Structure formats: structure tokens, C-alpha cells
Amino acid sequence: GDSVTQMEGPVTLSEEAFLTINCTYTATGYPSLFWYVQYPGEGLQLLLKATKADDKGSNKGFEATYRKETTSFHLEKGSVQVSDSAVYFCALSDSGAGSYQLTFGKGTKLSVIP
Amino acid sequence: GAVVSQHPSWVICKSGTSVKIECRSLDFQATTMFWYRQFPKQSLMLMATSNEGSKATYEQGVEKDKFLINHASLTLSTLTVTSAHPEDSSFYICSASPDRASDTQYFGPGTRLTVL
């Protein structure tokens, strides 16, 4: 079945540091890939997505590139801010499996300190 | 943006009682709603998918008689945990999609259930 593996947290960075959160996946079809963010006390919000190989999703300074050859979708940001502190979830939606259900990774908690 | 609400945000109940959780799409019509369960430091696990006006489709291992899902309108879905027990304590999250043929989901803030 489909699965998503993302790096274990928590991750603690100083403000303006470079961020990478690794994510790899297995899927039977041709998945769309997502990063969701959950701020404290709030629901998950879509951060960015990519629907096919070599696509790059980007939003709020975050980027992730769909790498089919390495089955990866790593999240990066060049300079994190305190306001980026949240839990980040990598996910996939495999329409080839006949539905648009999301399969999530376990989440990575990011704390950015001033 | 699309907003999904859940009520209550947290609930404490006694073992053996039933608890109902509401999920509402506030500014769009949700053809499909999803219910997830999240354990501490774990991923969101899909429990069931419900399409308005039809029976929910439950994931393998989820007891349909214990977790009753109703999606009676395009803006409301409910999850009822029947005869709750301490092992049902968890964080329950719903999401809503405006289109069955779309991978877009909007998430509610979640409901923390504690069964004593």
C-alpha cells in the first residue's frame, strides 16, 4: 500500500537558519504530493503541492520538488522565522488507487528560536 | 479561504457513554468529508470517507458500529463514538472536499476526546 516516511522530529533551529525536512514515499500509481502545516491550536493547512514529476511547489518561502527517481519530496526553506514553528506533514494522494484519500507521514515538529 | 469547523474542540466523557462530534464547512459545500484519528506523535489515520447522501466508507479495522458517521447535508457531517471506552481517547480531525474528483481537502481544527 501507499506510505509516506518523513524525518523524525522535533527539529529546533535558530531564526534565519536553513530548513530541510526529508520526505520519501511509496505509491502504486502516480501520486500528487503535499506538505501540510499545523500551527498550534489550528487545523492542518495546505502549504504546497506538486502533481507530477519535477514539479516544484512553493509557498511562503518554502519549496519542495517532486523527485520521482528518488521518490522524494523534501521540504526546504532558506531562512526560517519564529512564526514557522509548527508541525509539518508530508502527504500523498494516489488517484491511481481509485480515490483521493490522503496518506500522511507522522509529522515533524519544528521549533524556531530567536 | 475555505473554513471547516469542528464542535466541540474538546470533550471529556465517562466510559460507556456516546459522544457526537460535528464537522461543518462554513463557506463551501462539501461533497466529501473525511474523518481522521491522530494519536500522539503519530500520523493522521483515515477512519472513513463520507459522501453526502450516501453511507460512509470505512477503512479496514475501523468498527462502523462504534464510529457512526452521518453526512446528511453538504455542510455537515457528524461522527458519533458509541459506548466510548478509554482506548477511544484520541484527537479526531475532519476534512472536507468541495469536489469528489479533487485532491483538495480543508481541515477542521480537531476534537480532543478523553474517555474516563
Which chain B residue lies closest to A31 (C-alpha atoms)? Answer: B103
Question: Quick check: A44 and B4 CB within 8 A?
Answer: no
pLDDT tens-digit map of B77-104: 999 999 999 999 999 999 999 877 677 8
Q: Does B104 touch chain A (CB under 8 A)?
A: yes
| Alpha carbon distance B76, B108 (integer Å) | 12
Interface test with B, best of A44, A52, A106 (most B CBs within 10 A): A44
Please answer yes or no on whether A102 and B104 come within 8 Å at the CB atom: no
- Per-residue CA distances from A88 to A18, A35, A84, B51, B67 (Å): 15, 7, 10, 28, 28
Closest by Cα among A23, A45, A20, A11 to A92? A23
Task: Report chain A residues whose CB lies below 8 A from the CB of B104.
Answer: 46
A41 pLDDT more than 90: no
User: Coil, strand, or helix at residue B87?
Assistant: helix
For chain A, give the mean pLDDT: 92
List the end-to-end C-alpha distance of chain B, in Å, as a whole number.
37
Pairwise CB contact (< 8 Å): B43 & A89:
yes
> Is there a contact between A46 and B104 if contact means CB atoms under 8 Å apart?
yes
Nearest Cβ partner for B49 among A93, A101, A106: A101
A vs B: CB pairs below 8 A: 51
Long-range (24+ apart) CB contacts under 8 A made by B41-48 are B41/A106, B41/A107, B42/A106, B43/A4, B43/A89, B43/A104, B43/A105, B43/A106, B43/A107, B44/A44, B44/A89, B44/A102, B44/A104, B44/B93, B46/A101, B46/A102, B46/A103, B47/B79
Give the pLDDT confidence score for residue A90 in this predicted structure.
97
pLDDT tens digits, B29-72: 998 999 999 987 778 999 999 888 888 999 999 999 999 999 88
Compare CB distances from A106 to B43, B104, B110 and report the shortest one's residue: B43
Which of A38-52, A63-77, B26-40 is predicted most confidently? Answer: A63-77
What pLDDT score was predicted for residue B72?
A: 82
Residue B33 confidence (pLDDT): 92
Looking at residue A96, what is its pLDDT?
57
What average pLDDT does this structure show over A80-84? 97
Rounded to whole angstroms, the Cα distance separating B1 from A59 reads 15
